[in-house]
């Protein structure tokens, strides 16, 4: 066996051999099996890979430690590893070249860590790898070329991450991939060439994402895929030729929101044998054209209505021997009858005069045996002065002058739109019988009081819009009985206090809008973590907040915090002392003149976007941004009174920076800024205001710095001068770039905007999605 050692590895090896504690070369805290050549150091709170692992080790299990960052060359001393387990190691960064010496590893497990970006060379060297587990991380970005070295990989697991978008060629290089698992992300967009080059892929899991449309173009590239799982995506409709995949045999489209499916939707999937359409909203389905091999069609959990419109499907299934799974949801005399068992002759439309027992499904009046040429349009019960659409499960009484909440909507209604009426007061049990409503609109209803229990019984309520009413306070029981509420809009009211006590009844609250109220203080009673532990986004823009009490916003989960357009005079650092997940913080339009040292220390590990425009800021301490590093992607301090700036060079991951409209004093104290501007790939607009003779010139152009001591800045003919204003964005990389991952990230990133930033779970879009679903 020929061995190659780096000198460093040799030193380690020698020290391992001579280590007194180590009879069988087993690092202390680990257990070693010399016969099987395995080493396990599980749950030992290790902060680095033990350097004394025997170099002939084949399996190394480091589960449950605290490694945080995997440096380059972390495994140089164990070149024979075949299995490496790094699950639950608190890993945030995998440096480029970490695994470069591990050419024999076949299985690498990095699940349950905190990795957010996959860099271009993170997996270099793993030339034998067959399985890579990256599930349960925080990956939002896959850099082009991340996987190019993994030519033998069979299975790539990326489930439970935060991917929103897959760019073109993201998986290039996976020449032997069989199964790609992307379940449980937030994917809403796949580039047409996202899966280009995956010629061997036969199984693709995309379930539990946010795809609203079947990504036909993208999927067409996958000629070898036989199993595709798309379940749990919010698709409402599958049009003609949506699926065109020559070898597809198993297709999972269950638990979506399908209202309709064209009979030609699967015409390009001739080999399809199993189609799962369970748990959708399909009332009936026509015989499917295209799949000649279909064996099973699962319609379980659909509101299948067994009347004459179902007969063609039923007859087709018998002739073709397609097994139909599922049961009739109506009419009453057939309900719960298995589709497979129901006699086609019984699938009729009722004749005139027959009693209409069914609550919703009043049939149209065609003769009973005629097969339909158009779909039936059932009429439904609906309160006066409202419109209800039973198929769409949608009811609206918008702007109809109601002074009381109308009663008697169809019980299946999911979207109830009551905006722009004049309710003034919502008494308890205002929405009796609306137990299926998911989205309730009560904007512009002049509501000034909500009685406890007003929403009682709304067990499925997920979105509640109370914006632009006249609420001055909320009773503690105001939201009783709606425990699933996730998105709450209270912006544009007159609330004078943070409604902490009312929010205690909302354990699932994820997004809270309180913009444009009259809240002047956020007090400790509003301690987020005890009130709404899952709150992720909090919008307090445009209140009159003068102070935020210590710890008031502490919450391990809070990710987006908008405190802009308030009356803060100090940095709310102490309010965030335990808010270690904040990624976006907006403080613009307050009057904070001074930003002291360590102002962002509590959120320095998580912060990605920091906005501090128009605050009248006169000075930032040299250490104001201490702790912030490559993780910060956006920084704006536009329109302040800053004459100088702290050193920005640690912020090597910036993609957006706005320093405009500050009266910068261009003398030697600004030299670090000048050098930084010259050194980075961003176009930074920074203008000198003083001394007067160079007022209006760009910091990067002025000559004053030539005379400063230790100025070694090169002539800058490479610099592109920007003429226009606006935010500075990523520009072409300069050839002299360093190779730090972050800089490379910028240079290589060609992702569209959407890919870089996870769209906030804005109720608007979620609601759009929802409306779509039930329209
Ligand atoms: C793990 O190590 C860290 C620092 O290395 C220490 O702060 C922490 O208390 C340790 N935890 C346990 C459970 O030993
Ligand atoms: C049909 O769908 C139901 C509900 O999703 C599921 O439990 C069942 O296993 C499926 N049956 C088959 C044969 O796929
Ligand atoms: C704040 O609210 C006031 C009154 O509603 C409005 O005129 C102003 O434009 C708002 N400012 C911002 C920044 O939204
Ligand atoms: C310029 O960039 C390189 C690489 O990022 C870095 O090492 C160096 O310190 C930077 N110089 C200045 C003056 O910021």
Q: Which residues pair with 84 in a beta bridge?
A: 60, 108
pLDDT of residue 768: 32
How many C-beta neighbours within 10 Å does residue 411 have? 14
Ligand nearest to the backbone CA of 326: 2
601: Cα within 13 Å, side-chain hemisphere: 11
Question: How many CA atoms lie within 13 Å of 18's alpha carbon, on the beta-carbon side?
Answer: 5
pLDDT at position 234 is 85
Domain count, the chain: 2
> Exposure of 20 by Cβ count < 10 A (0-12 exposed, 13-18 middle, 19+ buried)?
exposed
Q: How far is the CA of 468 from the centre of ligand 3 (A)?
A: 13
The helix or strand, by DSSP H or E, that contains position 15, with its residue range, turns out to be: helix 7-18
698 alpha carbon to ligand 4 midpoint, in Å? 20
In total, the chain counts a number of residues equal to 775
Tell whether the model's pLDDT for residue 93 goes beyond 50: yes
Mean pLDDT value of segment 570-587: 90
Strands 155-157 and 179-181: parallel
Q: How confident is the model at residue 18 (pLDDT cuts 50, 70, 90)?
A: very low
Burial status of residue 352 (CB atoms within 10 A of its CB: 0-12, 13-18, 19 or more): exposed
194, 222 in Cβ contact below 8 A?
Answer: no
Nearest of 98, 106, 61 to residue 80 by alpha carbon: 106
Output the residue whose Cα is nearest ligand 1's atom 10.
45
Structural domain containing residue 259: 235-342
If you measure from the C-alpha of residue 45 to the centroid of ligand 1, how many angstroms do you get, rounded to a whole number?
6
- Say if residue 357's pLDDT is above 90: no
User: What pLDDT sits at residue 391?
Assistant: 64
- 47 C-alpha to ligand 1 centroid (Å): 9
8 versus 649: which is more confidently predicted?
649
CA–CA gap between residue 628 and residue 598 (Å, rounded): 9
**CB 737 within 8 Å of CB 744:** yes
pLDDT at 762 over 60: no
Mean pLDDT of 389-402: 81
Mean pLDDT value across the chain: 82
Mutation choice for ligand 2 from 325, 326, 340, CB with most ligand atoms inside 8 A? 325
In the predicted structure, residue 127 carries a pLDDT above the cut 60: yes
| Predicted confidence band of residue 358 (pLDDT cuts 50, 70, 90) | very low
Flag whether 690 is in a domain: yes
pLDDT in tens, 440-466: 999 999 999 999 999 999 998 988 999
The answer to whether residue 709 sits within a structural domain is yes
What contacts 399, CB < 8 A, 6 or more positions away? 419, 420, 421
Q: Is the pLDDT of residue 377 over 80?
A: no
C-alpha R_g of the chain: 31
- 318, two tokens: 């018998």
Q: Does residue 83 have a pLDDT over 90?
A: yes
Tell me whether strands 415-417 and 237-238 are parallel, antiparallel or unpaired. unpaired
Q: What is the pLDDT of residue 159?
A: 97
CA-CA-CA-CA dihedral for 243, 248, 253, 254, to nearest 10: 160
The whole-angstrom separation of Cα 488 and Cα 499 is 12
Mind listing the pLDDT tens digit for each residue in 686-696?
A: 899 988 988 99
d(CA 527, CA 524): 5
Q: What pLDDT does 392 receive?
A: 59
Q: List the residue whose alpha carbon is closest to atom 5 of ligand 1.
A: 47
Ligand closest to Cα of 590 equals 3
584 lies in some domain? no
Say if residues 269 and 244 touch (Cβ distance below 8 Å). Answer: yes
Q: How far, in Å, is the centroid of ligand 4 from the Cα of 679?
A: 6
Q: Is the dihedral of CA 72, 74, 76, 79 positive or negative?
A: negative
Residue 340 near ligand 2, beta carbon < 6 Å? no
In a domain, 89, yes or no: no
pLDDT at 760: 35
List all residues 6 or more positions away from 528 whose beta carbon is below 8 Å from its beta carbon. Answer: 535, 538, 552, 553, 554, 555, 558, 579
The CATH number of residue 327's host domain is: 3.80.10.10
485 pLDDT higher than 50:
yes
8 Å CB contact between 39 and 62: no
Of the chain, the percentage scoring pLDDT greater than 90 comes to 51
Atom of ligand 4 nearest to the CA of 649: 14
Closest-CA residue, ligand 1 atom 11, reads: 45
Of the candidates 116, 160, 71, the one whose C-alpha atom is nearest the C-alpha of residue 633 is: 116
Mutate to test the pocket of ligand 1, among 42, 45, 65, 89 (most ligand atoms within 8 A of CB): 45
Residues 6 or more apart in contact with residue 351 via CB below 8 angstroms: 367, 368
pLDDT at 141 over 70: yes
What pLDDT score was predicted for residue 97?
A: 85
The token pair at 696 is 């209006």
Q: Determine contact, residues 507/531, Cβ cutoff 8 Å.
A: no
**Would you state the pLDDT for residue 555?**
81
Q: What is the pLDDT of residues 469-480, one digit of tens each?
A: 999 999 999 999
Backbone angles phi, psi at 20, to 5 degrees: -70, -30
Dump pLDDT digits (tens) for 61-72.
Answer: 999 999 999 988
Neighbours of 290 (CB within 10 A): 18
Considering the domain boundaries, does residue 250 fall inside one? yes
Q: What's the rounded Cα separation, in Å, for the pair 287 and 741?
A: 53
- Residue 662 binned pLDDT confidence (cut-offs 50, 70, 90): very high
* Average pLDDT value for residue range 186-214: 91
Look at residues 293, 317, 342 and tell me which one is the last residue of a structural domain.
342
The residue out of 282, 310, 342 marking a domain boundary is 342
Q: Residues 513-541: pLDDT tens digits?
A: 999 999 998 887 656 777 788 888 899 99
Residue 473: per-residue pLDDT: 95
Q: Is the pLDDT reported for residue 158 higher than 90?
A: yes
Residue whose CA is closest, atom 1 of ligand 3? 542
619 in helix, strand or coil?
strand
- Determine the pLDDT at residue 350: 63
Mean pLDDT value of segment 51-59: 91
Could you identify the atom of ligand 4 that is nearest to the CA of residue 738? 4
More confident residue, 698 or 390: 698
Q: What are phi and psi for residue 381, nearest 5 degrees?
A: -70, 150
Structural contact between residues 465 and 419, judged by C-beta atoms closer than 8 angstroms: yes
What is the model's pLDDT at position 641? 95
* CB of 172 closer than 8 Å to CB of 149: no
Given pLDDT bands bounded at 50, 70 and 90, which one contains residue 197? Answer: confident
Q: How much distance in Å is there from the Cα of 637 to the middle of ligand 4?
A: 22
Q: Per the domain annotation, does 61 fall within a domain? A: no
What is residue 684's predicted lDDT score, i.e. its pLDDT? 83
pLDDT value of residue 527: 62
For residue 370, pLDDT beyond 70: no
Q: Is 242 a member of any domain?
A: yes
pLDDT band at 745 (very low <50, low <70, confident <90, very high): very low
How far is the centre of ligand 1, averaged over its atoms, from the C-alpha of 89 (Å)?
13
| C-alpha of 382 from chain center | 38
Q: Which residues of 320-336 are buried (b: 16+ CB within 10 A; e: fewer)?
A: eebebbbbbbbbeebee
Q: Distance between CA atoms of 128 and 263, rounded to whole angstroms? A: 45
- Cα separation of 279 and 69, whole Å? 43
Pocket test for ligand 1, best of 66, 69, 90 (most atoms within 8 A of CB): 66
pLDDT value at 730 more than 60: no
For residue 287, the 8-state DSSP code is P
| Contact (CB, 8 A) for 474 and 499 | yes
**How far is 39 from 43, CA to CA, in rounded Å?**
13
Is position 18 within any domain?
no
The residue among 342, 360, 375 that closes a domain is 342
pLDDT at 102 over 60: yes
And the tokens for 733?
A: 């990389």
Return the pLDDT at 389. Answer: 76
Residue 194, both tokens: 């996202």
Q: Is a pLDDT exceeding 90 seen at residue 34? A: no
The ligand minimizing its distance to the Cα of 300 is 2
CA distance 531 to 555: 10
Strands 463-465 and 511-513: unpaired
The whole-number pLDDT of residue 455 equals 97
Detail the DSSP E strand segments found in 400-465: 415-417, 425-426, 439-441, 449-450, 463-465
Residue 179's H or E segment, with its range, is: strand 179-181
| Half-sphere CA count of 190, side-chain side, radius 13 A | 23
Confirm or reject: Cβ of 562 under 6 Å from ligand 3.
Answer: no
Which atom of ligand 1 is closest in space to residue 47's alpha carbon?
Answer: 5
Confidence of residue 614 (pLDDT cuts 50, 70, 90): very high
208-252 pLDDT, tens per residue?
Answer: 998 888 999 899 889 899 999 999 998 888 888 899 999 999 999
Best of 256, 274, 299, 300 to mutate for ligand 2, by most ligand atoms within 8 A of CB?
Answer: 300
């Amino acid at each position: 066996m020929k061995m190659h050692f780096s000198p460093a590895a040799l030193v380690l090896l020698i020290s391992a051999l001579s280590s007194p504690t180590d009879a069988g070369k087993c690092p202390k805290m680990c257990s070693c099996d010399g016969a099987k050549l395995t080493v396990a150091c599980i749950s030992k709170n290790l902060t680095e890979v033990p350097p004394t692992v025997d170099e002939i080790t084949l399996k190394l299990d480091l589960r449950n430690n605290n490694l945080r960052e995997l440096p380059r060359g972390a495994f140089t001393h164990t070149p024979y590893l075949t299995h490496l387990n790094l699950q639950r190691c608190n890993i945030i960064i995998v440096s480029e070249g970490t695994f470069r010496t591990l050419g024999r590893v076949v299985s690498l497990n990095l699940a349950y860590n905190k990795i957010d970006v996959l860099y271009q060379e993170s997996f270099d060297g793993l030339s034998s790898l067959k399985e890579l587990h990256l599930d349960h991380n925080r990956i939002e970005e896959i850099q082009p070329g991340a996987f190019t070295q993994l030519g033998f990989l069979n299975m790539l697991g990326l489930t439970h991450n935060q991917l929103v978008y897959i760019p073109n060629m993201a998986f290039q290089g996976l020449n032997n991939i069989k199964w790609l698992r992307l379940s449980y992300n937030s994917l809403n967009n796949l580039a047409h060439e996202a899966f280009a080059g995956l010629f061997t892929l036969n199984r693709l899991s995309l379930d539990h994402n946010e795809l609203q449309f079947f990504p036909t173009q993208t999927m067409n590239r996958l000629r070898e895929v036989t199993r595709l799982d798309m379940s749990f995506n919010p698709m409402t409709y599958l049009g003609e030729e949506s699926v065109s995949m020559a070898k597809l045999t198993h297709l999972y489209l269950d638990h979506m929101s399908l209202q309709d499916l064209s009979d030609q939707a699967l015409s390009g999937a001739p080999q399809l044998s199993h189609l799962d359409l369970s748990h959708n909203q399909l009332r009936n389905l026509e015989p499917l054209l295209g799949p000649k091999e279909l064996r099973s069609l699962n319609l379980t959990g659909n509101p299948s209505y067994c009347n004459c419109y179902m007969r063609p499907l039923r007859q087709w299934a018998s002739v073709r021997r397609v097994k139909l799974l599922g049961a009739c949801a109506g009419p009453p005399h057939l309900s719960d009858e298995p589709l497979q068992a129901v006699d086609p002759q019984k699938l009729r439309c009722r004749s005139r005069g027959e009693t209409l027992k069914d609550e919703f499904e009043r049939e149209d009046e065609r003769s009973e045996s005629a097969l339909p040429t158009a779909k039936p349009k059932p009429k439904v019960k609906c309160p006066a002065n409202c419109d209800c659409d039973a198929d769409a499960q949608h009811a609206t009484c918008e702007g109809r002058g109601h002074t009381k909440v109308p009663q008697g909507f169809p019980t299946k209604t999911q979207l109830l739109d009551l905006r722009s009426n004049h309710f003034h007061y919502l008494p308890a049990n205002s929405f009796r019988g609306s137990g299926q409503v998911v989205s309730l609109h009560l904007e512009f209803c002049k509501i000034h009081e909500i009685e406890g229990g007003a929403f009682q019984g709304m067990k499925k309520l997920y979105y509640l819009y109370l914006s632009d009413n006249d609420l001055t306070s909320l009773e503690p029981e105001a939201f009783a009985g709606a425990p699933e509420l996730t998105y709450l809009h209270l912006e544009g009211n007159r609330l004078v206090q943070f409604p902490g006590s009312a929010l205690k009844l909302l354990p699932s609250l994820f997004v809270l809008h309180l913009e444009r109220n009259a809240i002047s203080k956020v007090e400790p009673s509003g301690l987020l973590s005890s009130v709404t532990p899952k709150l992720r986004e909090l919008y307090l823009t445009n209140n009159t907040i003068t102070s935020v009490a210590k710890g008031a916003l502490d919450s391990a989960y809070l990710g987006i915090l908008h405190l802009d357009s308030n009356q803060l005079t100090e940095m709310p650092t102490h309010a965030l002392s335990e808010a270690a997940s904040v990624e976006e913080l907006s403080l613009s339009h307050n009057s904070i003149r001074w930003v002291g040292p360590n102002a962002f220390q509590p959120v320095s590990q998580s912060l990605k976007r920091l906005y501090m425009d128009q605050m009248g800021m006169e000075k930032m301490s040299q250490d104001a941004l201490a702790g912030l590093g490559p993780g910060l992607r956006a920084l704006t301090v536009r329109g302040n009174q800053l004459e100088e700036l702290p050193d920005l060079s640690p912020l090597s991951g910036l993609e957006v920076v706005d320093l405009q409209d500050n009266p910068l004093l261009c003398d030697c104290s600004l030299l670090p800024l000048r050098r930084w501007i010259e050194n980075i790939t961003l176009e930074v607009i920074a203008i000198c205001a003083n001394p007067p003779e160079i007022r209006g010139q760009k910091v990067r152009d002025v000559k004053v710095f030539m005379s400063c001591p230790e100025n070694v800045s090169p002539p800058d003919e490479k610099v592109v001068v920007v003429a226009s204003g606006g935010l500075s964005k990523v520009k072409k990389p300069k050839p002299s770039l360093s190779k730090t991952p972050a800089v490379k990230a910028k240079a290589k990133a060609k992702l569209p905007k959407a890919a870089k930033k996870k769209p906030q779970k804005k109720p608007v879009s979620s609601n759009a999605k929802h409306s779509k679903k039930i329209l």
